[in-house]
Amino acid sequence: MDDAIFTRRYFGHCMSCGFCGDWCCSHGVDVSVRERDRILSRADEIEPLVRVPRERWFAEHVSEDADFPGGRSTRTAVESGACVFLRRTGRGCTLHALALSAAEDYHDIKPMVSSLFPVTFGGGALVCSEELADGTLVCGGDGPTAYEMARVELRHYFGDAFINELDALAGRAADA
């Protein structure tokens, strides 16, 4: 656990942001092979929304990575300077918007790394994303902590017992 998730701050209310232009979506995102396959299983529905052929949605390279469910990962492709799934006619993620429009849980299709950002994981630990850690995150600095903003997502993925442990750690970090 990187204690910085309890102290580093950022704007956090992404869809209320008027200054970044979805900057965090400019690099694409890591996805487990399982997530990639779930997205591809809905390609007929997604392709008209992203207007990029499904064959160009993901990097060809697949890495062995024990931190990801299934132990393997890849990345979403970048098209026209942003993640292929960035909405070009509005704000945010096409996958997230698709799920909401269908009254579905966005966790079933949106990559976990996207949902947690700028909290991420690596080497078996929760950490701040590189952008938040090195100060290049456009919205970094003011606002809630990374943990405060990721708490609901972390609960979804890892459960109440995990959140109880993190809440205790967050309390100690705030007291320090």
Closest CA to 151 of 135, 138, 164: 164
The pTM for the full model equals 0.89
Cα 51 to Cα 141: distance, rounded to the nearest angstrom: 35
pLDDT at 134: 85
Say if strands 9-10 and 140-145 run parallel, antiparallel, or are unpaired.
antiparallel
pLDDT at 34: 96
51 φ/ψ sector (left φ>0, alpha ψ -120 to 50, else beta): left
Asked whether 98 and 107 are in contact (CB, 8 A), the reply is no
Residue indicated by tokens 């207007």: 51
| Predicted local distance difference test score (pLDDT) of residue 159 | 96
Is residue 94 within 8 Å of residue 50, measured between CB atoms?
Answer: yes
User: Domain-by-domain residue ranges, the chain?
Assistant: 1-17+117-176, 30-111
CB 125 within 8 A of CB 140: no
The helix (H) or strand (E) run that includes residue 32 is strand 30-32
For 15, the token pair is 């869809």
pLDDT of residue 92: 83
The pairs formed by 154-162 with CB atoms below 8 angstroms and a separation of 24 or more are 154/116, 154/119, 154/126, 156/107, 156/115, 157/107, 157/112, 157/115, 157/116
pLDDT of residue 59: 96
Specify the amino acid at residue 63. Answer: S
Local mean pLDDT, 10-residue blocks, the chain (176 residues): 87 65 77 97 96 96 94 95 89 90 95 92 89 77 88 96 94 76
- 69 preceded by a cis bond (ω within 30 of 0): no
